[in-house]
Amino acid sequence: MNRIQLGNEVFEGQNDVYVFGADADPTTLVDCGVATPETREQLTAGLSEMGLSLADIDQILLTHWHEDHVGLADVIQEESDATVRVHSADAPLVAGDEDARNAMYDRQRELLREWGVPADAREELLAFLDGNAELAGSPTVEPFEEGAQFRTGEGDLEAIHLPGHAAGLSGFVFDGETGRELLSGDAILPHYTPNVGGADIRVERPLAQYLDTLVRVIDEEFDRAWPGHRDVIEDPAGRAREIIGHHRERTGNVVNVLREHGPADAWTVSANLFGELSSIHILHGPGEAYAHLDHLAAHDVVERTDAGYRLVDDDPALDGLVPTVESVE
Ligand SMILES: [Zn+2]
Ligand SMILES: [Zn+2]
């Protein structure tokens, strides 16, 4: 397997593209970077170092629908006729299905109001999202499900569904140098805690689903993980535990905000947690707060009232809400 590291700054930045079977068919890419001219040049240069051009790609596996992972898929497909595969939950969005995209935009607008995002911030965000819509292509896709096996020119990849950050987020498992290795997409990242709640507003109970995903990453005992951004993760279970720890701390912080502030909407909680936000963070900040508030509501720690989320249990036991790091060892 070869990796091409892209230098993009949009979204989380520095997307990774993985190449399986540079010397043998089917030559397969896992993710393919955001659709900007610079990224396209970097991808083309990276492939040419392996003696490949875009026209040589037979298959593209996508970890999820976000523009920075999908963007160049349709350009590559045009040149090569590559088969583009993505989990069924994300397939309509990737394929540019109008109904799926409109349903998502409508729900986004509805939630932004429900979260209490002020009109000027909403407008700033929607302008930003419109500007980015063109960074997503609309390739023809073949949907897959958990457990699907894909042959590549360099061994098989098996899909593993890791929802939370996105509804269809899937990793791919393969026999690597150190043993059973995972291409993790944005399910676990080396530096950032992947956003939940805002990054894909279609996900129901986003924090609960994401915590289940993290526990699964721990249980699977992968020997190494190759994320969608930046550098390899040598201890995927350790990183998953760290991220669970962040969410545990954040749950405590959300409870503290409500205790000090009284009933509050997601925007107010977000402002207390993250301060002032711009561009995509206007979606990600309150989305993250919402994911936690929704989780607390499901556990009867808070209730939704007209004045916002109100603390019902003043001193909740965090153990029942987020797995303890020890309990998943
Ligand atoms: Zn993502
Ligand atoms: Zn990403």
- Among 221-225, 269-273, 314-318, 325-329, the minimum mean pLDDT is found in 325-329
Cα 47–Cα 53–Cα 59 angle in degrees, nearest 5: 85
Q: pTM for the whole thing?
A: 0.96
User: Rounded to the nearest whole angstrom, what is the distance from the C-alpha of residue 288 to the centroid of ligand 2?
Assistant: 16
User: Rounded to the nearest whole angstrom, what is the distance from the C-alpha of residue 78 to the centroid of ligand 2?
Assistant: 23
User: Rounded to the nearest whole angstrom, what is the distance from the C-alpha of residue 196 to the centroid of ligand 2?
Assistant: 12
User: Rounded to the nearest whole angstrom, what is the distance from the C-alpha of residue 261 to the centroid of ligand 2?
Assistant: 33
Short-list 190, 297, 306, CA closest to 251: 297
The pLDDT assigned to 11 comes to 67
Number of H helices, E strands in the chain: 10, 13
- pLDDT digit string (tens) for 148-195? 999 999 999 999 999 999 999 999 999 999 999 999 999 999 998 999
User: Rounded to the nearest whole angstrom, what is the distance from the C-alpha of residue 328 to the centroid of ligand 2?
Assistant: 26
- pLDDT digit string (tens) for 293-312? 999 999 999 999 999 999 99
User: Rounded to the nearest whole angstrom, what is the distance from the C-alpha of residue 120 to the centroid of ligand 1?
Assistant: 25
